[in-house]
A and B are shown apart, each in its own frame.
Chain A
């Protein structure tokens, strides 16, 4: 029964596309139809509540650099799920997939983070 429920949850979460948030609706902030696929260099990490953030500089084909603010769960959730405060740090090169804020600012949710060596982190967890 538990396995069936877990599958149901996984399917439903994937269908909705946004992880479960802790103190507000994720869908009230991010638009799952506005997909992000960004590669860039980490410029800053904010290990703060209620959500940790990291920023990356993304350079487009014309050479224009845009700085993106990308959101994670709270530090206490991340740490209990295997993250460390330096799991991502300034200077890291990362590829991030996620969803953009509804207001189209350069702000998004980091649903997956992939490093050049192939290891991954996600919004909630370091366990892939």
Chain B
């Protein structure tokens, strides 16, 4: 039994850090790998072209250019408490701790083909489209959806209607796109383990294209309704050269849902 537990821990750790594309940078504080390298497996995708090399590009007006098909996200979507900024920890309030222990895999909104919210990622690629005054983040999965980030200097509304992706406003901090989001509903889980949140959740995402093929993504979550203190996740994304976004209409035939059983658990079967 002990061996099984060790194996599952090894699996979940390994999968979270390497096999699963939204994996965070493994060691806290370490820089993202340099661009380049051999063709090979990226996330769930095999025989992928090498990550492109070169400096981070800029648009004609000097704004950092975040274009491209990206794979990876800002947090460990299996268990958000892994891959945090050095010194950070996830400290749930008692009600949240109790809730996580009772959550069932079949109730995960992700398994029900509902939006993932922020910052939960997926093994599917995504894009950022930069247009004047507004950026769009377009997700292939899970689910096939999009977010809008207002870049025109507006403020958040006083009392936003709760939403899956909340209300996002963005600004540039040097090379880093900073996206501040409030106004979340409570319908999504932060990860496969079922970490909850309240409508008090605020996320601040920091997207930095470190070179042509790589991006670091840090997300600070503040939710005094569910967590004793804020925490920051650290993740990375890589350019997937040679592919485009494709359709992933999860709602089309979610046959598996009726066959899911057991406690909330990661894609590799790991539980808390």
Contacts and interface: CB of A to CB of B under 8 A. Distances in A.
A105 interface: yes
Interface stretch (A13-21, A37-45, A56-64, A85-93): A13-21
Give the dominant DSSP class at B's interface: loop
Nearest to B38: A2
Output the residue of A6, A15, A80, A101 with the most chain B CB within 10 A: A80
B259 A81 contact: no
A48 B252 contact: yes
B11 A22 contact: no
Given A8-B10, A20-B268, A22-B141, A28 B255 contact: no
B248 A24 contact: no
Contacts of B44: 20, 22, 73, 77, 81, 124
Output the residue of A5, A13, A22, A69 with the most chain B CB within 10 A: A22
Contacts of A80: 45, 48, 243, 246
A48 B140 contact: no
Interface string A66-86: 000101011111011110000
Contacts of A16: 7-8, 11, 268-269
A22 B267 contact: yes
A125 interface: yes
B123 interface: yes
Contacts of B248: 49-50, 74, 76
B18 A26 contact: no
Interface in B18-57: 18-20, 41, 44-48
Interface string B42-75: 0011111000000000000000000000000000
Interface residues of B, number: 50
B265 A28 contact: yes
Interface string B110-148: 110100000000111000000000000000111000000
A25 B267 contact: yes
B140 A27 contact: no
Given A12-B11, A74-B248, A127-B47, A102 B253 contact: no
Given A25-B266, A77-B123, A125-B46, A50 B10 contact: no
B256 A24 contact: yes
Given A12-B10, A12-B11, A76-B246, A107 B259 contact: yes
Contacts of B106: 28
Given A8-B14, A103-B259, A107-B259, A50 B254 contact: yes
B159 interface: no
Output the residue of B17, B110, B124 with the most chain A CB within 10 A: B124
B15 A9 contact: yes
A76 B247 contact: yes
A109 to B, nearest CB: 10
Interface of A: 2, 5-6, 8-9, 12-13, 15-16, 18, 20-29, 46, 48-51, 53, 69, 71, 73-77, 79-82, 101-103, 105, 107, 124-125, 127
Q: Which 8 A-B pairs have the closest CB atoms?
A: A27-B269, A12-B11, A24-B111, A76-B246, A28-B105, A48-B253, A9-B14, A50-B250
11 contacts: A13-B15, A13-B268, A20-B15, A20-B44, A22-B124, A28-B262, A48-B253, A50-B252, A69-B255, A73-B44, A79-B246
